[in-house]
Amino acid sequence: MTDISKHPILQECYELCVAIEECGASEKLTEASMKASALLESVDSLIANNKMQSDADRGCPRCMSSVCVNFECRETTAPLI
């Protein structure tokens, strides 16, 4: 289940799913609802992957340097960010 509170676009995708489902029942609306739900899951995965990449790109959590190895800060006086 997608946590739609993680990002505003997830909320928008969810609202699209609900709006389609409120239109009633037909084969085309069911197909549209399924596609909208798949889109919601894809967007959720994209956001999660983007966050993981952003976290990895940041480097050391203490000084933000990419020089520090295994997050062992070489700048011992750097404040924790």
Each residue's pLDDT expressed in tens, for the chain with a length of 81 residues:
899 999 999 999 999 999 999 998 999 999 999 999 999 999 999 998 887 766 666 666 666 666 666 556 666 555 554
Residue 1 belongs to some domain of the structure: no
Residue 36 belongs to some domain of the structure: yes
Query: Within a 10 A sphere around the Cβ of 13, how many other Cβ atoms?
Result: 21
Contact of 42 with 2, CB cutoff 8 Å: no
Q: How many domains does the chain have?
A: 1
Q: Check residue 20 and give left, alpha or beta (phi > 0: left; psi -120 to 50: alpha).
A: alpha
Residue 54 belongs to some domain of the structure: yes
Domain that holds residue 62: 7-81
C-alpha count within 13 angstroms, C-beta hemisphere, residue 19:
7
- Residue 73: what pLDDT? 62
